[in-house]
């Protein structure tokens, strides 16, 4: 694994690269969290070249505002240019899955395929059920090496809500004809119907629910997640 601080126009972002083959970029959840997806990258780095990164203001990346959704998407596109890829596979977990989806809608000509792990779809109607479930049980979470950035969290959520209000959002999703895998955990505190709705809109999506798995799928069901990811990439 090779770590690198990449200088973009106004910010230095932490990145990590491992493996060889077609390029994959993974985005972690949040917004406002550091990277924690090394275990997922290790599941597939003999098949593909896996990049990971930390959003500005998160983890080892510089804290240079603005922290809005549009800037985050632009940073991701600038990283593609930096690494020199014409197209790449984009993916992520939770908020990072949503970020990968939004990137694919914004830059469809740059996307080979989409990996969507435990995302929350394109509405925010899931939040009341999530809060209710939080009162009933806990969930396994990774060990975060760096603290959550509350400013990034607040601005990221506010600006994605704005992004989702676009009147042509559903039309853009239905036009996103790239191979997509959606993987959810049956016991995720976030209800899976939001991602199932997304799967019905995408023209080339496979949707899988891993029985008994939680939000962080690799912590509870690593073999099942590994098999699904590898099968998708090999196909």
Order of strands across the sheet that contains 205-210: 2-7, 12-18, 49-53, 23-27, 88-93, 111-117, 180-185, 205-210
Task: Give the pLDDT score at 162.
Answer: 96
Task: Give the pLDDT score at 88.
Answer: 98
Given pLDDT bands bounded at 50, 70 and 90, which one contains residue 119?
A: very high
116: tokens are: 């969507």
pLDDT at residue 173 is higher than 90 = yes
pLDDT at residue 48 is higher than 90 = yes
As a whole number of angstroms, the distance between CA 13 and CA 62 comes to: 6
In this structure, are residues 22 and 44 in contact, taking their beta carbons and an 8 Å threshold?
A: no
User: What does the buried/exposed string (b/e) look like for 196-234 if buried means 16 or more CB atoms within 10 Å of the residue's CB?
Assistant: eebbebbeebebeebeebbbbbbbbbeebbbebbeebbe
Q: What is the mean pLDDT of the chain?
A: 97
Task: Give the pLDDT score at 9.
Answer: 87
In this structure, are residues 115 and 104 in contact, taking their beta carbons and an 8 Å threshold?
A: no
- State how far the alpha carbon of 145 is from the alpha carbons of 24, 28, 102, 204, 235, in Å: 23, 13, 26, 36, 34
Structure confidence by residue, pLDDT tens digits, 147-170: 999 999 999 999 999 999 999 999
pLDDT exceeding 90 applies to what percent of the chain?
98
Is 20 in a helix, a strand, or coil?
Answer: coil
User: What does the buried/exposed string (b/e) look like for 6-35 if buried means 16 or more CB atoms within 10 Å of the residue's CB?
Assistant: bebeebebbbbbbbeeebbbbbbbbbbbbb
Torsion of CA 173, 130, 96, 15, to 10 degrees: 180
Q: Does the structural domain 2-234 have CATH classification 3.40.50.1820? A: yes
Q: What does the pLDDT average to over 141-148?
A: 96
Task: Give the pLDDT score at 199.
Answer: 96
Structure confidence by residue, pLDDT tens digits, 78-115: 999 999 999 999 999 999 999 999 999 999 999 999 99
């Amino acid at each position: 694994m090779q770590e690198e601080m990449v200088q973009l126009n106004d910010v230095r972002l932490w990145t990590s690269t491992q493996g060889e083959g077609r390029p994959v970029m993974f985005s972690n959840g949040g917004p406002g969290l550091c990277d924690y997806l090394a275990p997922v990258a290790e599941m597939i780095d003999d098949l593909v070249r896996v990049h990971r990164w930390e959003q500005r203001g998160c983890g080892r990346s510089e804290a240079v505002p603005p922290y809005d959704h549009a800037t985050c998407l632009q940073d991701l596109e600038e990283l593609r240019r930096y690494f020199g890829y014409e197209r790449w596979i984009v993916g992520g977990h939770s908020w990072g899955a949503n970020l990968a989806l939004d990137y694919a809608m914004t830059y469809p000509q740059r996307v080979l395929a989409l990996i969507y792990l435990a995302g929350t779809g394109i509405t925010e109607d899931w939040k009341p059920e999530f809060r209710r479930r939080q009162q009933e049980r806990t969930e396994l979470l990774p060990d975060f090496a760096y603290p959550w950035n509350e400013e990034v969290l607040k601005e990221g959520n506010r600006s994605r809500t704005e992004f989702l209000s676009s009147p042509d959002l559903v039309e853009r999703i239905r036009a996103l004809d790239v191979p997509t895998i959606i993987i959810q955990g049956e016991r995720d505190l976030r209800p899976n119907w939001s991602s199932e709705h997304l799967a019905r809109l995408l023209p080339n999506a496979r949707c899988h629910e891993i029985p008994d798995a939680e939000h962080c799928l690799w912590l509870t069901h690593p073999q099942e997640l590994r098999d699904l990811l590898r099968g998708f990439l090999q196909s």
